[in-house]
Amino acid sequence: MPARVDDYDGGPEEAVTHEEIRRKLPRWLERYLWFFENAIEEAVGRFALSLPRGARVLDAGSGEGKYRHHFAHTRYTGVDLAVGDMSWDYSGLDVVGDLSALPMADGTFEACLNIVTLEHVREPGAVVREMARVLKPGGRLLMAVPQDWEVHQSPNDYFRYTRYGLRTLLQDAGFGSIELQPGGGYFRLMGRRMLNGIQFFRGVWKAPAALLLAPPGLLFPLLDGLDREKNFTLGYLCTATKK
């Protein structure tokens, strides 16, 4: 089922609030606070630019098709089961289908993306195998998955992924040349959680909570270089190639 990075910090109401806030912030501050979301957007853009004109691309779990515009020079196909968020407009889907049983022939696509979706499927191993099946040999995959994130798009939220779990899924499906990039480390994670905490306060307590939690939320990411291992992370960006 699809997930949208804007929905990661709560339900639909919270997502709207965060999107409104993002639009009002200076670009540098928005990039600083929504580090992982911006990293995903930029990775998708680079991935699209690296593909030749006319390449066949599968967006597996495309939701409302927010990344379609990056692939105007390719033959883009968005597929989704259309049940992840009932407030979304799924009318732009090319195919309504189950990612664990894709209705495409073997070796159809040169490239595939799967962005913040794998946590929403009941059989992630089957989904990764299906993406490998419909890719041509040498076909490329771009994925983004969460490791430390709150429940979202409930009740269709099933899994979180460590770097080892994700690598195992990809290797078992026949992918190689796997590269994983963490979405920040401990201090970026803690900064995000401080800002998330403000939502639990109401009424007269909202402003004091913001005064207490916002300063560490803004400052903690500056220390992220201290976490060299990045075992504490919001999630991972991953590229892989079908053997």
pLDDT along the chain (243 residues), means of 10: 37 48 75 92 97 98 95 97 85 94 97 97 98 98 96 92 98 98 97 93 94 95 96 97 96
Dihedral angle of Cα 182, 45, 96, 148, to the nearest 10 degrees: 20
pLDDT, position 31: 86
pTM score, two decimals?
Answer: 0.87
Altogether, the residues listed in the chain come to a count of 243
Residue showing tokens 């480390």: 185
Q: Check: CB of residue 107 under 8 Å from CB of residue 135.
A: yes
Paired strand residues for 237:
144, 181
Cα–chain center distance at 35: 12
Cα–chain center distance at 135: 20
Helix axes 163-172, 124-134, angle to 10 degrees: 50
pLDDT, position 143: 98
Q: Check: CB of residue 11 under 8 Å from CB of residue 18.
A: no
> What DSSP designation does 107 have?
T
Q: Check: CB of residue 37 under 8 Å from CB of residue 6.
A: yes
H-helix or E-strand spanning residue 95: strand 95-96
Paired strand residues for 238:
143, 180
pLDDT, position 29: 83
